[in-house]
Structure 1
């Protein structure tokens, strides 16, 4: 009987994450990655990973924006 008192919802009916907050978080994380390039490291191998990570985050924001602009995502 306890199952009948709870409303059954699918994952798409739950409150979505704020789009603006997600975009801002991704851009802030990309900026932090790029700021980590400034440091006292001697080798620059990790610089490649930091730049690639920042580029992937920015690319994800741009692709999401383009898909929403063209109506392919809600």
Structure 2
């Protein structure tokens, strides 16, 4: 009689990547989000400096807010990923 169990495929073959058994071969969106927040805060901290013009500040602020927007979008898309 045939088995009724479904074999799950994670996309990573354990023979090719031995660390896949521990889950190390997948991307970690939570770690990427934390890194994005720290990078955005670092960009905002770089606005405090000894430069005369403020053109650099505008680029740093826009870059930080684009990064925060990407992190917010990533958080919104991944917040219920486990339940879908």
- TM-score for both structures, normalised by structure 1: 0.70
Q: Which has the higher contact order (CA 8 A, sep 6+)?
A: 1
* Pairwise CA distance, 1:19: 1.5
Partner residue in 2 for 1:13: 11
Which stretches of structure 1, 4 residues or longer, exceed 3 Å deviation after superposition? none
**Which of these residues, 22, 43, 53, is aligned with residue 33 of structure 1?**
43
Residues 22-68 of structure 1 deviation map (CA, whole Å, 9 limit, x = unaligned): 01110000000000000111000011110111001110111111122
* Pairwise CA distance, 1:17: 1.9
Instruction: Supply the distance in 1 between the matched residues of 2:77 and 2:29 (Cα, whole angstroms).
Output: 13
State whether structure 2 residue 32 is matched by structure 1 residue 22. Answer: yes
Matches within 5 A, 1:1-74: 13-14=11-12, 15-69=25-79
How many positions carry a matched residue from both structures? 61
- TM-score for both structures, normalised by structure 2: 0.63
Instruction: Supply the distance in 2 between the matched residues of 1:28 and 1:52 (Cα, whole angstroms).
Output: 15
Partner residue in 2 for 1:6: none
